[in-house]
Amino acid sequence: MTDQNGAEPAGKEPELRGVDLARRALEEARAAAKASGKSVGQGRSSPQRKLRTGARRRSGWSGAGPDPRDPQLFGALTGSLAKNRGWSAKVAEGTVFGRWAGVVGEDIAAHATPLTLKDNVLSIAAESTAWATQLRMLQSQILAKISAAVGPGIVTSLKISGPAAPSWRKGERHVRGRGPRDTYG
């Protein structure tokens, strides 16, 4: 509130905005920390190491060791972003489909394909009935590999199916019954 001349009335501070408001909040936080006995200032609160020459090391530069200011791996950053946003389950589901060969192994991936993941049940299509039978016997090992790759609870059971059998039903006019019986000789 200003008077007619644009000056602030006596005894009232001007309303702070933007950078000035942030600066004031930082000053108040530093004062509160100093009053409670904590170290106040920029950089880490750990004591500075002395170099061999006795000079203090500058805190603005990263040294040879790991530092929080160092560049981070992209996978770690996206993983933490997915965790913070609650996308972890969907990312894990995508990992099962996107990295199928790496999750279950090259041999199994060459003969089986994941189809759907619904209610923690993964549907897998095998290329032959023999592979479907083999996958059913390896079901516990496959579930263990998936849990190790994407975490527990994402896939709790498998639904393994073989290839679709040929349909004898042809055309619009179909006679009910067992179908053709004398087709093979």
Domains of the chain, residue spans: 86-161
79 pLDDT more than 70 = yes
Contact 135, 112 (CB under 8 A): yes
State the pLDDT confidence band at 116, using cuts at 50, 70 and 90.
very high
Contact 92, 150 (CB under 8 A): yes
Whole-model pTM: value is 0.51
**Residue 121 CA: distances (Å) to CA of 146, 172, 177:** 12, 36, 35
87 pLDDT more than 70 = yes
CATH of domain 86-161: 3.30.300.180
Answer with the residue of higher pLDDT: 98 or 184.
Answer: 98
Confidence (pLDDT) at 147: 92
Mean pLDDT of 115-138: 93
Contact 142, 121 (CB under 8 A): no
Return the H-helix or E-strand segment holding 75. helix 74-85
166 pLDDT more than 60 = yes
